[in-house]
Chain A
Amino acid sequence: MRERESVVSEHPRDDEELEAFLKGDSTLSRRYREAGDEQPPAKVDAAILAASQWAVGADPGKDNQKRDSRRSVRASNAGSNWWSGFFSRWSVPLATAAVFVIAATLTLMIEREPELERIERQSDSIALNAPDKRSGDMLAELAQQDVDATAERSSASPSPDEPASAPVKSKPEKSTQAQSEPVKASPPAATSTAPRRLEFRPVEEEAPVVAKDSDARKEAVSASGRLEKPPAETVAGFAGDMAQTTAPPVEVSASLVEEKAVVEQESVAEELVVPAERRRDNDAMLAGDIPPTEMSPDQSTAAVTGLAGAQRNAAEPADEIASLQAQSEESDALMAPPPTQFAPAQSVPVSPATSGTRSAGRDPDKWIADIEEQLALGNRELARAAVKNFRERYPDYELPEALEELLSVNDP
């Protein structure tokens, strides 16, 4: 009975204690709060807060000021959440891909750089190993250009057959400037072989030539009272493609306009003489007698001599280039007889005496050296013809053994 009372009495005590405990004013609760106040370590706090900030990827203070309501907060943070999510998701793959792309690019550049340098070196070596061909082509091209230019000037000159057709301009005030000014275009000259209409080009290249023979030219002016452009008689290469015309008088002195008839007669005479002289020079060159630049000793007059010399000097580069072209193209034509494009009226037969006189001026040793050079270059036929001509000129000259053998082989 007593135990039952104690049990019944304990239940109300427990209930009261529980009620007090739930209200927070029980003795146990107070003791418990006084027992300890453990706190998490600071490093744990820092780690958790850092994780929370990293998860949202936003500045806490900044975001706190921006949010007035739940909806605005949600709307304003949608972008940052998307960006933070995108960045956290793709930052590493994008960075890795960028690193791979850069590495691959650098690798390819490094690998290809030596290859490019090697290709450049090869191209340079090829260019250095083949200079002759290029220079040969360039020389041939220059020769062709020079020949064309000379042919143009020559074709634009009046034909010796029609000396009176060339207009004679009277410019006394410019008589001293005639050499430096461009030559006025004259009517086309009707040649016997190539009646082409060509225009004159400025003859700047003739200026030094004229200046070179200024003394002779002055003599010509003083003697004939007129300054003429020398006949542009050009041999367009030794291969036979010869275009030969004569140039008309271009500039004249005004003081002699009245003596037009006399001037014209002299012009005709000169132009008849000059082609003949030129023809002899050509023959001599073909025969190896004289170089193109040598002055002929039997020039009839000082004016003709000066004009002819100027013309030869003007044609000198063309002859040299054409000779190079002839060596590479048609060497056989070098020793061929002169072409027959010369007009009969212009062609003056070269007498053996004249030729012999000219050949006497040529050094036989140099001639032999030239022939040997041609033979060394493989131009056997050219050398053979030259040796033959040399033998005719110098029957008593002791030929080298190779040339003698060449002559004996070709002369059964």
Chain B
Amino acid sequence: MAATDPDETLMIAYSNGDAAAFAELYARHRGALYRFIRRQCAAAVADELFQDVWTRLIVARRRYQPSARFTTFLYQVARNRLIDHYRADGRNLEDPSGDEQQEAPAGGATQPEKAAEIRQQAGQLLMLIDALPASQREAFLLHEEAGLSLEEIGEVTGVGRETVKSRLRYALTSLRNGMEGWL
């Protein structure tokens, strides 16, 4: 299986029993998907959720239909798994009052105990991303990590294109304000 084959071809090949296609597919998306999950949950459960997402993909390989991009399918699975995780914790993905929201710094007002940790710019940005509302963070990550367009993000999240655009706009504003001194 060539490395230039699209994801959909690889997924079809794997659904037909080609394990090498899955390896190639996994190599392409492992980092982005892991970060997508890691940015939206605690590190302790990120590995478990990440592995669970791929396991679901393996199990559902025969039901895969290349009607959409594979990335859309993959991140939709990951999002559903995150929703299940949130529901198990009694929280909602749309609810900004989660653990990540509480842990994340609120705007530019960083907590004193974490100030030393986020001295670096990247750290600050990550903390700002963690502090975003879940929908905004999700839209931001789907674009940054998965490279989805507005339409694809709306397809994954089940909202319209303008809603996605609005969420991204607010997310960028928040990040820019939080990174005002760094940008």
A: which residues have CB within 8 A of B? 14-15, 17-18, 21-22, 26-29, 31-41, 44-45, 47-49, 51-53, 55-61, 63-64, 67, 70, 73-74, 77, 80-81
Contacts and interface: CB of A to CB of B under 8 A. Distances in A.
B16 A70 contact: yes
B17 A35 contact: no
Q: Which 10 A-B pairs have the closest CB atoms?
A: A35-B122, A77-B17, A60-B20, A60-B19, A64-B20, A56-B17, A52-B22, A40-B34, A53-B19, A48-B54
A64 B165 CA distance: 41
Contacts of B144: 29, 32-33
Contacts of A44: 47, 50-51
5 contacts: A40-B50, A40-B51, A58-B17, A64-B20, A64-B21
User: Interface centre among A15, A17, A31, A36, by most B CB within 10 Å?
Assistant: A31
A60 B125 contact: no
A15 B149 CA distance: 15
Interface stretch (B79-87, B88-96, B102-110, B166-174): B166-174
B150 A22 contact: yes
Given A40-B50, A56-B19, A67 B13 contact: yes
Nearest to A35: B122
Nearest to A27: B183
A29 B168 CA distance: 12
A50 to B, nearest CB: 10
A17 B23 contact: no
B51 A47 contact: yes
Given A21-B143, A53-B19, A64-B20, A28 B26 contact: no
A15 B13 CA distance: 41
Contacts of A14: 169, 172-173
Contacts of B13: 67, 70, 73
Interface of B: 1, 9, 12-14, 16-23, 26, 30-31, 34-35, 38, 47, 50-51, 54-55, 58-59, 61, 121-123, 125-126, 129, 143-144, 149-150, 165, 168-169, 172-173, 175-176, 179, 182-183
A55 B35 CA distance: 26
B12 to A, nearest CB: 6
A15 B170 CA distance: 11
A49 B26 contact: yes
Nearest to A39: B31
B122 A40 contact: no
A21 B21 CA distance: 32
Contact of B123 (A35, A45, A51, A73): A35
A63 B179 contact: no
A52 B19 contact: yes
A37 B31 contact: yes
A118 to B, nearest CB: 59
Contacts of A28: 125, 172, 175-176, 179, 183
Contact of B143 (A22, A61, A81): A22
Contacts of B129: 32
Given A31-B183, A48-B55, 20 more contacts: A14-B172, A21-B168, A28-B175, A28-B176, A31-B125, A35-B126, A44-B50, A49-B23, A52-B14, A52-B23, A56-B14, A60-B23, A63-B17, A64-B1, A64-B18, A64-B21, A67-B13, A70-B9, A74-B16, A80-B17
Contacts of A80: 17
A312 B38 CA distance: 121
A161 B144 CA distance: 140
Contacts of A70: 9, 12-13, 16
Contacts of A21: 143, 168, 172
A21 to B, nearest CB: 6
Nearest to B61: A55
Contacts of B61: 55
A31 B55 contact: no
Contacts of B12: 70
Contact of B38 (A15, A38, A58, A81): A38
Nearest to B59: A55
Contact of A67 (B16, B35, B38, B50): B16
A60 B31 CA distance: 22
Contacts of A38: 31, 34-35, 38
Chain B CB within 10 Å — which of A22, A57, A60 has the most? Answer: A60
Contacts of A15: 169
Nearest to B149: A22
Contacts of B20: 60-61, 63-64
A210 B66 CA distance: 113
A17 B172 contact: yes
Contacts of A39: 30-31, 34
Contacts of A56: 14, 17-19, 22
Nearest to B25: A52
Contacts of A45: 26, 30
A60 B126 contact: no
B13 to A, nearest CB: 6
A28 B169 CA distance: 12
